[in-house]
Amino acid sequence: MNDLNTAAPKVAGKPPASKKAPEDVLVHLNESSLIPGDTATISAWNISFFGAIALLVGLPLFRPTPFLEILKFVPDGLTATFTVTLCSIFLALVLGLLAGLGRIARTTIINRVATVYVEVVRGIPLLVQLFYIYYALGPLLHLNGLSSAILALSVCYGAYLGEIFRAGIQSIPKGQMEAALALGMSRTQALWRIILPQTVKVVLPPTGNEFIALLKDSSLVSILAVSDLLRRGREYASTTFNYLEAYTVVALIYLVMTLFFSRLVGLMEERLRTHGRKHN
C-alpha cells in the first residue's frame, strides 16, 4: 500500500491534493480496459432506443394527422417482415449448417459443392439474387413473391452462416477431435458429441448478428410486391404524398426492432462469457 501511495500520484501527473487523492487515482489505475464500458444511463444505445420510442409515441400524440394514420396503416407489414425473417433464418440455419459441415468435409465432392455454393452466393448482390429468383426462376418454379423472398434470403444467408459455422468449428482446438478419435469415437460421433456442442457457444453471437442483418435486409422484399413494413410505408406515402412522415415512421420501427435484438445478442454474449468465467 505504501508503494502505491507514492507511485500513484506520479502516474496521475500531479501531487495528491489531499490524503484521499491517491485512492481516487487507484480507481483509475485499476480500470485496465482500453475501451470504456458502455454502461452509463446516457449510453448510445439508450439514446437511440428510447429516443426512437419517444418519437414513435410523441409524433402521433402531437400531430395525429398524418402520424397516427401512418402508425395504424404501416404495422400490418410487420407480419410479412417477420414471416420472411423467421422463415428465412430457420432455412438459412439449416443451409448454413450443411454448408459449414460441407466446407470441412474430407470428401472432395461435398467440399467442392459447399465451397462453390458459398463463393457463388457471396459474390452476387442480394438484390440481384432476389430479382433472379423472383423474375427469372419464379415463373418456372411457380413461386410467388413471399416464397421467392424467403428462398432468396435463405440461400444468401445460408452461405454467410456457413462461413460462420465453418470458422466456429475450426476454432475448436485440434486436440479435441484427436482425444475423441483416440477414445475410439467415429468422426461423426466426435463431431456431434464433442465439436458441435462447443461450436454453438462460439457461433451464437455472430448468428444473432446475422439474424439482425436479415431482419433489415428483409426490407428488400418490398420490391417483390410483398407487403412488408417498407412496402406499407410506400403504399401510404404514394396515396397521401407524406413521404417524409411515412418513411420516418418506417425507419423508426426498424430501428427499435434492430436495437432491441442487438441488445438481446449483447446480453447473450455477456451470459456466455460469464458462464465461462463462473468455473474459474
Partner 1 sequence: MAESIIRIKQARKSFGKVQALRGVDMEVARGEVILIVGPSGSGKSTLLRSVNRLERLTSGEVWIEDDCVTSPHADIRKIREEVGMVFQSFNLFPHLSVTENIALAPTIVRGETPAVGLQRAAALLERVGLSDKAHAYPEQLSGGQQQRVAIARALAMQPKIMLFDEPTSALDPEMIKEVLDVMLDLAKEGMTMLVVSHEMGFARAAADRVVFMDEGMVVEEGKPEDLFANPKEERTKRFLEHIL
Footprint on this chain of partner 1 (rule: CB under 8 A): 173, 175-176, 178-186, 189, 193-194, 197-198, 201, 276, 279-280
Nearest to partner 1 of 125, 197 (CB atom) = 197
The DSSP code sequence of 2-66 is HHHHHHHHHHHTS--SSTTHHHHHHHHHH---SSPP--STT-HHHHHHHHHHHHHHHHHHH-HHH
Nearest to partner 1 of 43, 176 (CB atom) = 176
- What whole-number distance in Å separates Cα of residue 219 and Cα of residue 230? 6
> CB of 96: closest distance to partner 1 in angstroms?
21
The closest alpha carbon to 87, from 158, 168, 166, belongs to 158
Nearest to partner 1 of 180, 252 (CB atom) = 180
Residue 107 is given by DSSP the state S
> CB of 172: closest distance to partner 1 in angstroms?
10
Nearest to partner 1 of 38, 178 (CB atom) = 178
Nearest to partner 1 of 74, 191 (CB atom) = 191
Nearest to partner 1 of 176, 239 (CB atom) = 176
Chain-centre distance for alpha carbon 81: 16
> CB of 53: closest distance to partner 1 in angstroms?
39
Contact 77, 227 (CB under 8 A): yes
The closest alpha carbon to 113, from 70, 162, 63, 164, belongs to 162
Grid cell 475448436 — which residue?
172
> CB of 196: closest distance to partner 1 in angstroms?
10
Chain-centre distance for alpha carbon 134: 26
> CB of 189: closest distance to partner 1 in angstroms?
6
- What whole-number distance in Å separates Cα of residue 115 and Cα of residue 102? 8
> CB of 192: closest distance to partner 1 in angstroms?
10
